[in-house]
Amino acid sequence: MSDRGFLAQLQGYGMTTAEIHYYRPDAPSLLQLFVWQEYDLAPDFPVLFDFLDHWRHEITAALHSVRIAHEQMIRPTEWSAVDGILSIR
């Protein structure tokens, strides 16, 4: 059994979070928020832009703004060799 997220990180993907602010046609004066998270490649963000293309074509809500945060979760500095034995009693 393999974890899709871990395998994606090994291929260079990192966790991307997007705050998508939008207006719905039935409440144009109300700014709403949708939070999206997925593993994606920075700085091009192909997965996010595919999702936003889907949004523009399939969802009846006008995009106002998108704020993106991205974090590479696996770095060489996070891995360290441990030489020793841990005994649990």
Residue-wise pLDDT for 36-50, tens only, equals: 999 999 889 999 999
pLDDT (0 to 100) of residue 4: 83
- pLDDT score of 8 more than 90: no
pLDDT digit string, tens, across residues 53-86: 999 999 999 999 999 998 876 555 555 666 666 5
- How many CB atoms are closer than 10 A to CB 48? 21
Domain ranges within the chain, ordered by starting residue:
4-76
∠ CA 25-59-46, nearest 5°, is: 135
DSSP conformation letters of 36-61: EEEEE-TTT-HHHHHHHHHHHHH---
Whether 77 contacts 47, CB under 8 Å:
no
pTM score, two decimals? 0.73
What is the token pair recorded at 63? 């995009």
- pLDDT score of 51 more than 70: yes
